[in-house]
Structure 1
Amino acid sequence: MKRQEEFEAAVKTMLEIIGENTKREGLVKTPKRVFKAFRDMTEGYHMDPVKVLNEALFETDNNQMVLIKDIEFYSMCEHHLLPIIGRAHVAYIPDGKVVGLSKIPRMVDIFAKRLQIQEQLTEQIADAINEVIAPKGVAVVIQARHMCMEMRGVGKTHSATTTSALRGLFLKSDTRKEFFDIINSPVVARY
C-alpha cells in the first residue's frame, strides 16, 4: 500500500507542476486511476513467459508452420511513457512440440505490458518462443504506431514502424517468403 501511496503522490505532484488544480472534481481521483491504469498496463513485469509457455506444451508430429496473425497489443514507450498501438504476427515451425494457441498472444501481451521499444519487444517474443518450444524456426513481425512520434516531436500521424525477428528455418528464403506472403495476404473473412 505504501508504494501505491507514493505513486499517487507523484501523480498529484506532476499534475500540480503542469498547473492543474488537483482539488477540482475531475482530478480528485486521478492519481488513484492513474495508479490502477499503470498497474494494468505494466502487469507483464509480474508474469513469467517461460512458465506460461511450459504450461501448455504438447507433443506433435506436425512440422508445418503455425501462424497467429494480427494479434492486437498495446504497450508504452520507455522513453516517453506514451502508447504504442500495434499488431503482431507470430509463427513457428514445430520440432516435436506445439504450444497451446492462446499462449502465443499471451506471450505478446507479457512483453508488451512492460515499458518497451518495439525492436526489443519483437526480439523478446521470438527469443521466449525459441527457448521454450525449441522449434525449427520462429518468426515475429510487429507493425505499430507510436504516439511519441504522433502526439509530440515530429508529429507524423499514421506512420507505422515494422520490425522483425527471424530464427532458424525462417532465415531461409523460401520459408521467409511463405511467412511474409501469408501475413501480407488480405483477410477474406472473419470467423
Structure 2
Amino acid sequence: MANSVEKVERKASKFQWFMMAFLIPLLTVIAVGLVLLQISGVNVFQEVSKMGEKVSVLQSVFGDGEEAVKELENRSLNLQAEIEEREAQIAKLETKILDKDNAIKQVELEKEQLENQLEELRQIQSDNKRAFADVVETYEAMSAKKAAPILVELEEEEAVKILSQVSPDQLGKILESMLPQDAARFTKLLATEGR
C-alpha cells in the first residue's frame, strides 16, 4: 500500500514539474506576445487567417466553411422534407387501417345480424314442420269422407304436400272418397312429385 502511495506522489510530482517548468512559462510567453502584437497594431487573428488561406493543403482539408454550412442546411432541409413525407404516408396508412377496422366491425355486425336471422328462420322452420306434422296427423285421424272435401278445396300444392305425408292406407281411403276427376288429378300430382 505504501508502494502505491509513492507511485501516486511521483506521478503528481512529475505533473507539477511539467506544469511549472514548461506549460506555465509557454502560456505566459504566448500571452505577452499577443498583447505586444495587438499594441503594435497588428491583428494577429487576421494574419493567421491570411496564412491559412495561403496554405492550400489546409484549405483543401478544411474546405470553405460557408459551403459546408450551406450543404448541411440543404441536407437538413431534404431530411426534413423526407420526414414530413413519411409522416404523411404514415397518416394515410393509419387512416386506411382505421377504415379497414371500421369495415371489419361493420361486417362482423352484419354477420351477427345474419346469424340471428338465420337462427330465427330455423326456429320458424322447425315450428312450421311441427305444425305441418300436426296437420298431417289431424288428416290421418279424420275420416276419409270428411278429409276428402277439405283437401279438394285447398290449393293443389298444399293438398299434395299433405297427401304425400299421410299413410298409404289413409291416402287410399281419402282418394276413394273424392270425385273421380279430383282423385285422378291428385294421383297425377302425387306421381309427378315422386311419392
Superposition TM-score, scaled by structure 1 size: 0.26
Which structure's relative contact order is higher, taking Cα pairs within 8 Å and 6+ residues apart? 1
More helix by share: 2
Superposition TM-score, scaled by structure 2 size: 0.26
More strand by share: 1
Larger Rg: 2
